[in-house]
Amino acid sequence: MGGHMTKDERNAMIDVQLKQYEQKMFQLEMNKTAVLANGDEECAKDIEVRIEALRKAFTAVEGMKEEI
C-alpha cells in the first residue's frame, strides 16, 4: 500500500494538466483562424464553444491547486 500524494505531487500534476489545456486551446485558436480564412464562420463558432469549455475546465482545475 502506497502513501498519499504530497501537495507538491498534486500541484505538479495540475500544472501538467493546465499546460495540456493551454496547448489544446492554442491548437483550437489556430484551427479557428484557418477556418475563418476559408470563410467558414459556422465551424469557427463551433471551435469557439470548444475553446470556452477548455477555459472553464482550466479555471476549475487551476482552483484545485493547494497553497504550499
pLDDT tens for each residue of 29-53: 999 999 999 999 999 999 999 999 9
Question: For residues 57 and 4, what is the distance between their CA atoms, to the nearest angstrom?
Answer: 25
Q: Is the pLDDT of residue 67 over 70?
A: yes
* Cα Rg of the chain, angstroms: 16
The DSSP line for 1-68 is ---PPPHHHHHHHHHHHHHHHHHHHHHHHHHHHHHHHTT-HHHHHHHHHHHHHHHHHHHHHHTT----
Report yes or no: 68 and 12 within 8 Å, Cβ to Cβ: no
The model carries a pTM of: 0.86
Q: Is the pLDDT of residue 66 over 70?
A: yes
